[in-house]
Amino acid sequence: MFDASDGEEAWEMLCDHPAIELVITDINMPRLTGQQLLVRIRKSDNARIRQLPVIVMTTAEDNVDRNLAFLNGANDFINKPIDEMELLARTRVHHTLASTIRELEQSRARLAELATTDPLTRLNNRRSFFEQAEQHLVMAERYQTGLAIVLLDIDFFKKINDSHGHHSGDAVLVAMAGLVTDKIRSVDTVARMGGEEFALLLPGANRLGAAVMAERIRAAVEQHPFAAPDRVLRVTASLGIASLDVDQAQNTEELLAIADRRLYLAKNNGRNRICVNDQGKSNFQG
């Protein structure tokens, strides 16, 4: 329990001590009144402080302060002189309610993360990729800017699982996620689309820019030692590219289908390479 001698000290305590879960304030305090403290709490940029339950102490006949405190966001009132049993009961109720609300918000955040995040790699999942791609596609069409999608598939991934076990396969997937994330720009998005396939969303990029990015990633994968539980593995990847500046696509599905077609051309032409057109040609290959 923290005891402040005035409103400013109370505010400093709220900012300095995350363990505070409930506020009991008098209306009349020096430096910062109870009303002013209440307003500052409710307008705080810190969500933890902003959502704190606040009990205001008032006199029974002081309806003006009571109504103002209610408008300022007070959760409850208790009359002076204070009845300790009543104060304890109200404190327990609001503390329990605040804890319940906090747990619900945490559960909601966890569910939202599960809905948009791949559990193994912690990348965006397929659903999240499509949601972001649709938003970027709208912006690209509105402002006539570029947009490219790169699909990456780990070569011979089934052999890794079959020869070295799924733990090694999972380790490769996690390492690949980290490697690709390190190579992209802050505005780009990388997602695990399923299995050993990853997708990159590159807003503002044309085909050349996407090809340069894809080749940089391909070369980095080829040179990277992938640490499995009991060995180091050498891995390569194939990549297919689609971009709005040269490809006719009306939506994300069409752009992704073009990139997917070129990914399989890269694989059919020998793997460990990128493909930027439907002839399977690229200026880069390993």
By DSSP bridging, strand 54-59 and strand 76-80 are parallel
pTM score: 0.67
Encoded tokens for 279: 């002839």
Q: Are 226 and 172 in contact (CB under 8 A)?
A: yes
- 7-116 CATH pick, 3.40.50.970, 1.20.950.20, 3.40.50.2300, 3.40.50.300: 3.40.50.2300
Beta bridge partners of 80: 59
Spell out the residues 6+ positions from residue 121 whose beta carbon is closer than 8 angstroms to its own.
173, 174, 176, 177, 192
Among 8, 196, 197, 215, which one carries the catalytic annotation? 196
User: 28: which 2 tokens?
Assistant: 């009349």
Please confirm whether the linkage preceding 18 is cis (ω < 30° from 0): no
If we measure between CA atoms, which residue out of 128, 110, 109 comes closest to residue 118?
128
Q: Compute CA distances 127 → 107, 112, 132, 175, 191, whole Å.
A: 20, 12, 9, 22, 9
Place of tokens 């990015």: 213
CATH tag, 126-275: 3.30.70.270
pLDDT in tens, the chain (286 residues): 778 788 888 888 888 888 888 888 888 888 888 889 899 999 989 888 888 888 888 776 767 888 888 888 888 888 777 777 877 887 887 778 777 777 777 777 676 666 789 999 999 999 999 999 999 999 999 999 999 999 999 999 999 999 999 999 999 999 999 999 999 999 999 999 999 999 999 999 999 999 999 999 999 999 999 998 888 999 999 999 999 999 989 899 999 999 999 999 999 999 999 999 988 666 444 4
Q: Rounded to an integer, what distance in angstroms lies between the CA atom of residue 171 and that of residue 29? A: 59
Beta bridge partners of 264: none
CATH 3.40.50.2300 domain position(s) in the chain: 7-116
Spatial contact of 120 and 173, defined as CB atoms under 8 Å apart = yes
Burial degree of 53 (CB within 10 A; 0-12, 13-18, 19+): buried
105 assigned to active site: no
Phi-psi region of 73 (alpha: psi -120 to 50; beta: other; left: phi over 0): left
Coil, strand or helix at 236: coil
Backbone dihedral angles phi then psi of residue 153, each to the nearest 5 degrees? -130, 130
